[in-house]
């Protein structure tokens, strides 16, 4: 194998792949490597931890085709350190990859490409297309609600499904919950959402997709198979193993009626909440919300540290009520909305609270209250 | 106690003091608190971990004088969160400090000022004055050589002494070593350097002084007492307990002659070293330096990972030589010089290497070589 490649192109590819390889590998595991395959005018690169795989390709001048797996971290650091514009890579004997640029000469210990795990192919003929900016919003509005508790396996991912928008056209809806809060967010798509057996995409896959589409302008393609889903960008594909679990019937927990409705300025409420959270107990992040007709008073108290009180204007329809929330959970929701005002639909003291933007039905959030001491 | 203070002024003071208080305090220790003392038109603030103390003052409108110790971290977070321009602080009963700003109301649990440790006064009549920029350079060029190994108590600080400059005028010289490398750096001062019994300033004190004088334009005053030194800036004073140990006679290890002298471009050498360090063994950071008449070849090798080779132009006077260095140590030196070229004075394979700028005698660095395998 021998190829010449632009240093910045190579660096961009290796930076991308670094989130997909195993970090602290024992025994020089091949899973901490990136697989390089040079052929034609292309360098293909693959990184995987077996659950999550990135496959990408970049242009390169290949004078001798070939393939090798080398440690992704060392190769990234090597290419990052280079000062020249182009890099020459040559596969030497004993699986060593020579990386050469200007007066710099590196030889990295590699492993045969045959030891690198094969990513099972996936039929991508039936796929949906969605603008990258839409998918970014869907992920931003749901990722924080995915359970981080590994014991709740069926909640360690986000559920993908097709729903009908207000105009009857097909929408992709992503739903996540950790049992104490729930988010769903939806956006129109073209093409076809053909779910296989499962449609639960694990947290790490969602986070890496979110990272990769940051700032992307183009459409993203998504296809589901029996055991995996693929997300395709312009020049790379993410292959995600789906969780072998069923997502709960989330519609059951969505309150259909409410007794009280409070409308507040979103940023004012966000700022007030940030302040009272300083003295919320570490474990529960519990904040007391006292709603009156035109005023919301937030209070918190932390043993041996202090207490705080904040006021924010609200417009309350319904009887005054005092209830507790995990302030962090509400803050997460306020941070992923962009409307000026925010609507809280409330029931009784221990009923779920529904949070949404007054002017868009494309995202909905449910936060369970906490008992006040 | 009751005072009104500008929010930004208060925040600046509390940010400054945060490096001086104990971090993870058990049992709500008073050492994680800042002492606030309001009187006249001034709020005095003190933070200490008993080894290192910051005393500062800022203007405030005091309507009722008083004092209280409150947790520095909580108070910093509280004031940082406030949106208004001015903050009102009132000492309530049971040692609670009310912090009020706009619609925000905080009550922090405090401790009586009487429980706060008293910083012993220090005679500051005999002190030296040095521009903050000079002191910054002295600290930048020596701090990295202070031993981080706590077992080498006498090397866990930097030694201050007075020397004569080339023109016979008094210079402050700061010296540090960890046994494998040594730095000294000197600059002219006015006033008097009156050392007491000891002149060994501990690493943390040096680092906090460096942090505080960042960007300062004014002169800094330094005075030594029997057990402590004080460093005074415009509006605050740092009180440092000196190490009760003797600094070794460092002049003995400074080589007085050399057999070889190599001159290289500093930035070129720095960049080449950074690259070969990627494949230097973690423990020794060992890099092989092969000097020939006009070329320096740097090589490193890391088991199971790879190897690297770099070339840099040098102008060598004397016989070619190959020797090993901790590449990190040389990189530290190259990073605190600002000259275009750098001079390495070499003896034999295991003799100390002297590094300096060709055009200034105000700083000198010694790096011990390492044995090559």
Percent with pLDDT over 70 in chain B: 99
**What is the residue-averaged pLDDT of chain A?**
94
The pLDDT tens digits for B189-208 are 999 998 888 899 999 999 99
> Which residues are A224's β-sheet partners?
A229
Judged by average pLDDT, the poorest of A101-110, A349-358, B121-130, B316-325 is B121-130
Q: Other C-beta atoms within 10 Å of B63: how many?
A: 12
Structural contact between residues B342 and B353, judged by C-beta atoms closer than 8 angstroms: no
Question: B282 in contact with A at a CB cutoff of 8 Å?
Answer: no
3-state secondary structure of B119: coil
Across the interface, of B106, B306, B312, the residue whose CB is closest to A74 is: B306
Cβ(B20)–Cβ(B54) below 8 Å: yes
Kindly report, residue by residue over A66-107, the tens digit of the pLDDT. 999 999 999 999 999 999 999 999 999 999 999 999 999 999
Looking at the complex, report in whole angstroms how far the Cα of residue A272 sits from the nearest Cα belonging to chain B: 8
pLDDT for the residue numbered A267: 97
Cα angle for residues B137, B138, B139 (degrees, 5° grid):
90
Residue B36, pLDDT score: 98
Which residues in chain B are contacts of A275 at CB distance < 8 A? Answer: 78, 81-82, 104, 106
Confidence of residue B23 (pLDDT cuts 50, 70, 90): confident
Residue B26's pLDDT is 59
The whole-number pLDDT of residue A84 equals 95
Which pTM was predicted?
0.92
Three-class SS of chain A: CEEEEEHHHHHHHHHHHCCCCCCCCHHHCHHHEEEEEEECCEEEEEEECCCEEEEEEEECEEEECEEEEEEHHHHHHHHHHCCCCEEEEEECCCCEEEEEECCEEEEEEEECHHHCCCCCCCCCCCCEEEEHHHHHHHHHCCHHHCCCCCCCHHHCEEEEEEEECCCCCEEEEEEEECCCEEEEEEEECEECCCCCCCCEEEHHHHHHHHHHCCCCCCEEEEEECCCEEEEECCCEEEEEECCCCCCCCHHHHCCCCCCEEEEEEHHHHHHHHHHHHCCCCCCCCEEEEEECCCEEEEEEEECCCEEEEEEEEEEEECCCEEEEEEHHHHHHHHHCCCCCEEEEEECCCCCCEEEECCCCCCEEEEECCECCC
pLDDT tens figures, A223-234: 999 999 999 998
Selection from A312, A285, A289, A313 nearest residue A299 by Cα: A289
Q: Binning pLDDT at 50, 70 and 90, where does residue B34 land?
A: very high
Q: What domains are defined for chain A?
A: 2-115 (3.10.150.10), 128-252 (3.10.150.10), 255-367 (3.10.150.10)
Q: Residues of A with CB below 8 A from B269's CB?
A: none
Residue A122 confidence (pLDDT): 83
Pairing type for strands B321-326 and B341-346 reads unpaired
Residue among B82, B274, B278 minimizing CB distance to A74: B278
DSSP state, B252? Answer: G
User: In chain B, whose CA is at the least distance from the CA of A76?
Assistant: B278
CA distance B3 to B43: 8
Nearest residue, CB atoms, B278 vs list A81, A96, A304:
A81
| Residue with the larger pLDDT of the pair B194 and A259 | A259
Q: Does B264 touch chain A (CB under 8 A)?
A: no
Report the pLDDT value the prediction gives residue B373, as an integer from 0 to 100.
Answer: 74
* pLDDT at A27 (0 to 100): 60
Which of B:60-79 have CB within 8 Å of A?
71, 74, 77-78
pLDDT at residue B125 tops 90 = no
Of A78, A306, A312, the CB nearest to B108: A306
Section B321-350 average pLDDT = 97
Q: Which residues pair with A2 in a beta bridge?
A: A64, A90
pLDDT at A28 over 70: no
Is the pLDDT assigned to residue A341 strictly greater than 90?
A: yes
Asked if B52 and B71 count as a contact pair (C-beta separation under 8 A), the reply is no
pLDDT > 90 fraction of chain B, expressed in percent and rounded? 85
Residue A26: pLDDT band with limits 50, 70, 90: low
Chain A hits for B314, CB-CB cut-off 8 Å, are none
B274 reaches A (C-beta below 8 A): yes
- What pLDDT band is residue B119 in, cutting at 50, 70 and 90? confident
pLDDT, tens digit, for every residue of A121-144?
Answer: 887 789 999 999 999 999 999 999
Contacts (Cβ under 8 Å, ≥6 apart) of A7: A79, A82, A84, A85, A86, A87, A101
Q: Quickly state the pLDDT bin for A25 (edges 50, 70, 90).
A: low
CB neighbourhood size of A361 (10 A): 10
* Helices of type H across B220-297: 266-277
Q: Give yes or no for residue B28 having a pLDDT over 70.
A: no
Percent above pLDDT 70 for chain A: 99
Which residue matches tokens 């005072």? B3
Q: What is the dihedral of CA A86, A87, A88, A91, to 10 degrees?
A: -160
**Length of chain A in residues, anyone?**
373
**Dihedrals phi, psi of A165, to nearest 5 degrees:** -75, 175
Q: pLDDT class for A114, splitting at 50, 70, 90?
A: very high
d(CA B33, CA B35): 6
Average pLDDT on A323-346 reads: 97
Whole-number pLDDT of residue A196: 80
Q: How many residues does chain B have?
A: 373
pLDDT digits (tens, 9 = 90+) for A43-53: 999 999 999 99
In tens, the pLDDT along B299-314 reads 999 988 999 999 999 9
Q: Select the more confidently predicted residue: B50 or B287.
A: B287
Whether residue A263 lies within 8 A of chain B, CB to CB, comes out as: no
Give the mean pLDDT of A263-281. Answer: 97
Report the pLDDT value the prediction gives residue B25, as an integer from 0 to 100: 59
What sign does the CA torsion over B323, B328, B333, B338 have? positive
Nearest chain B Cα to A275, which residue?
B81
Asked whether the beta carbons of residue B106 and residue A307 sit closer than 8 angstroms, the reply is: yes
> Per mean pLDDT, which range of A64-73, A190-199, B105-114, B131-140 is the poorest?
A190-199
Q: Does pLDDT of B241 surpass 70?
A: yes
Tokens of B58: 């800022």
pLDDT of B142 strictly over 80: yes
Answer yes or no: is pLDDT of A24 > 70.
no
pLDDT at residue B121 above 90?
no
Separation of alpha carbons A332 and A334, rounded Å: 6
User: A264 with A272: CB under 8 angstroms?
Assistant: no
Where do runs of H (alpha helix) occur along chain B? 7-17, 72-81, 132-140, 203-212, 266-277, 327-335
Q: What is the pLDDT, as a whole number, of residue A260?
A: 97
Residue B160 to residue B224: CA distance in whole angstroms:
10
Chain B closest CA to A169's CA: distance in Å?
A: 44
Query: Can you tell me the ipTM of this complex?
Result: 0.90
A83 touches chain B (CB under 8 A): yes
pLDDT for B301 equals: 96
User: Which of A81, A107, A279 has its CB closest to that of B307?
Assistant: A107
What's the gap in Å between the CA of B229 and the closest CA on chain A?
34
What is the distance in angstroms between the CA of the first residue and the CA of the last residue of chain B? 68
């Amino acid at each position: 194998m021998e190829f010449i490649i632009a240093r910045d192109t190579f660096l961009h590819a290796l930076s991308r792949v670094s989130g997909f390889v195993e970090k602290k590998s024992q025994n020089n595991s091949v899973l901490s490597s990136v697989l390089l395959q040079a052929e034609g005018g292309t360098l293909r690169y693959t990184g995987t931890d077996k659950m999550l795989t990135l496959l990408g390709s970049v242009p390169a001048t290949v004078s001798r085709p070939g393939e090798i797996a080398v440690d992704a971290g060392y190769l990234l650091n090597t290419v990052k350190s280079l000062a020249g514009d182009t890099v020459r890579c040559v596969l030497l004997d004993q699986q060593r990859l020579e990386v050469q640029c200007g007066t710099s000469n590196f030889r990295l210990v590699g492993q045969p490409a045959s030891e690198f795990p094969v990513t099972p192919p996936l039929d991508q003929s039936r796929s949906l297309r969605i603008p990258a900016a839409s998918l970014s919003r869907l992920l931003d509005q749901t990722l924080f609600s995915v359970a981080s508790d590994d014991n709740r396996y069926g909640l360690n991912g986000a559920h993908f499904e097709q729903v009908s928008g207000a105009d009857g056209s097909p929408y992709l809806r992503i739903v996540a919950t950790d049992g104490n809060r729930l988010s769903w967010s939806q956006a129109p798509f073209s093409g076809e959402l053909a779910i296989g057996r499962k449609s639960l995409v694990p947290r790490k896959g969602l986070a890496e997709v979110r990272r990769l589409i940051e700032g992307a302008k183009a459409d993203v393609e998504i296809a589901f198979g029996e055991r995996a889903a693929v997300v395709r960008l312009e020049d790379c594909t993410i292959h995600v193993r789906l969780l072998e679990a069923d997502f709960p019937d989330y519609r059951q927990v969505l309150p259909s009626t409410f007794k009280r409705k409070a409308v507040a300025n979103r940023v004012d409420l966000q700022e007030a909440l940030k302040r009272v959270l300083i003295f919320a107990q570490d474990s529960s992040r519990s904040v007391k919300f006292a709603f009156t007709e035109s005023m919301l008073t937030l209070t918190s108290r932390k043993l041996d540290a202090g207490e705080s009180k904040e006021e924010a204007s609200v417009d309350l329809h319904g009887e005054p009520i005092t209830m507790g929330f995990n302030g962090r959970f509400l803050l997460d929701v306020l941070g992923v909305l962009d409307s000026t005002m925010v609507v809280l639909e409330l029931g009784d003291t221990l009923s779920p609270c529904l949070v949404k933007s007054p002017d868009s039905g494309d995202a909905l959030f449910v936060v369970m209250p906490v008992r006040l001491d």
